[in-house]
Chain A
Amino acid sequence: MSNIKYLLLVSRQGKVRLMQWYTPLTPKQKTKIINDLTPLILARKPKMCNILEYNDHKVVYRRYASLYFICGITNEQDNELLTLEIIHRFVETMDTYFGNVCELDIIFHFDKAYDILNELIMCDGSMAESSKKEILNNVHAMDAIESNDHLDRILS
C-alpha cells in the first residue's frame, strides 16, 4: 500500500522545485528534512541504490536529468520498488502534458505540476489513479473550463 509522507523535487544545485507534504509537520521539521536530505542525495553516485534510511523512515529517490524526485515513505507499509514506479508515473504524465518536460517547465508552471500530482496521489499519500490517460484527460478538462472562464469574462 502506498503511504507516501512527502514528495520533493530538488535540482542538481540543491534548489527545491516542488514540494508536497502528506503528513502534518511543523515548518521547522520540513526545513530540517529538506536540509538533511538534499546534500545526502546529491552526493550519491549513480551506481548506488535509490533507497536510503533517514531518521525513522526510508527515502526513495530517482534522478531525471537535473532533477531529483525524492519520496519519504512509511516503513513496513510502503513498497520501495513500487514507490519508484509511482515517481516514474508522475514523470511520464508530466512528460506527456508538457511535451518532453524539462526543469524549466516545472519551475514556471509549478501549478500545473501540482495539478497533475494531485490527480495521481491523494490524501495521505496514496496512489489514486494509475492510468496516465485518465489523469491527462481530467487535467485537460479542467484547463478547458479555466480558459472558458477567461473567454466568458472577455465576452461579457
Chain B
Amino acid sequence: MGTRNHLWLAAKRTLTWYLVGFTISDRYATLVSVTGDSMHPTFTAASSSLRGDVVLAERSCLEKYQFSRGDVVLFKCPSDHRELFVKRLIALPGEWMQLPGSPDIIKIPEGHCWVEGDNASRSWDSRSFGPIPLGLIKGRVTHVIWPPSKIGRVDTKMPENRISPL
C-alpha cells in the first residue's frame, strides 16, 4: 500500500510538471535544436555526430503577429506540417521586394512574409516555395542557449549582400 501511494504521488507530480512545462513552452518560450546548415554562420551547421545549436524561441510574438524585418523565426514547413524550419524574415506583408537573382519586383501578399536562410547557397526557403502565410510562424528565436561558447542574443539584422525591400 505504501509503495502504491508513493507511485501515485510521483505520477501526480510528473504530470503536474509536464502540464506546466507544456504550457510554458506553448505560450511563452520553448527550446528548439537547430540542425542543418541553412542558417550558418548564425547557427552552427550540425554534422551527424554533433547536434545543432539549442535556441530559445519566444512565443509571445504570436499574440499579435508583430515581427520586424531581420527577425529569426521558427515556422512550420509549408509543404510538410511536421517539420519546423528556422529562417530569417526578409519581407513583411504589403512590402515590395526584389526577387534575389532576378529583376522582378513582387509585392508580398497580405498575411504573408518572405523568409530566407543566412546561408543562401544551402538553404531551402522562400526562393523555392514563395512567400509563406504568417500563420505558419510558431515563434521568434531570441537566444542561443547551447553550446556555451555561443550563448547570447540572436541579432535582428538584414543580410548585407541582399537588396533590402524597397
* A, B from the same assembly: no
Q: Could you tell me which B residues sit within 8 Å of A by CB distance?
A: none
Interface positions of A (Cβ within 8 A of B): none
